Amino acid sequence: MLHYGPVPRFKPDRWEFQVFGATADGDKHCWNHDEFSTLPKTTVLGDFHCVTKFSMLGVEWSGVSTSTILELAPPASEVTHVMVWAEYGFSSNLRIADFVDDKSLFATHRGGEPLTAEHGFPVRLVVPHLYAWKGPKWVRGVEYMVADRRGFWEERGYHNLGDPWREQRYSYQEEPGEGPGF
């Protein structure tokens, strides 16, 4: 279990999940912890790929699907990317196609058990077909974007797309069209 910096302390009375940026209605959408906890849940089997070259295949994840968030807070038609924001300013950019994948979800449980604080409690994004850094721990919101820009790890040299099957680990491996400004 890897992370940069300390594990944040969860404060349910201050926790809020936000969707903002290029929303279809131009508004910011927010759920407190109790409200987020009542959103419909789904369970998927998905892989977990660490950039350090280990993978766990067929992990059971449960939580709120990204499609539920997209239904409740639709993006504007011109949205191409999202930035997922987490505690301490961590972020990860994703193409909208990766975000809407039917196995992508805001996980609250792994293997039927609530996530531990070290694994991202109360919410972490899971995008099983990408490296785990594309699914930040301790998620607080989603920004809809009409253009790509690099997230926290991508600004520090990680690949903009992060496909483990193509071994897309570092930005020097990016091909034209795989990152902003190309």
Task: Please report whether residue 8 resides in a domain.
Answer: no
Does the structure show a pLDDT above 70 at 3?
no
Task: Please report whether residue 180 resides in a domain.
Answer: no
What's the number of domains the chain is made of? 1
Confidence of residue 28 (pLDDT cuts 50, 70, 90): very high
Task: Please report whether residue 117 resides in a domain.
Answer: yes
Structural domain including 101 reads 16-173
Q: What is the mean pLDDT of the chain?
A: 94
Question: CA geometry: angle at 69 spanning 48 and 27, to 5°?
Answer: 135
Task: Please report whether residue 137 resides in a domain.
Answer: yes
Picking from 84, 79, 66, 90, the residue whose alpha carbon sits closest to that of residue 147 is 79
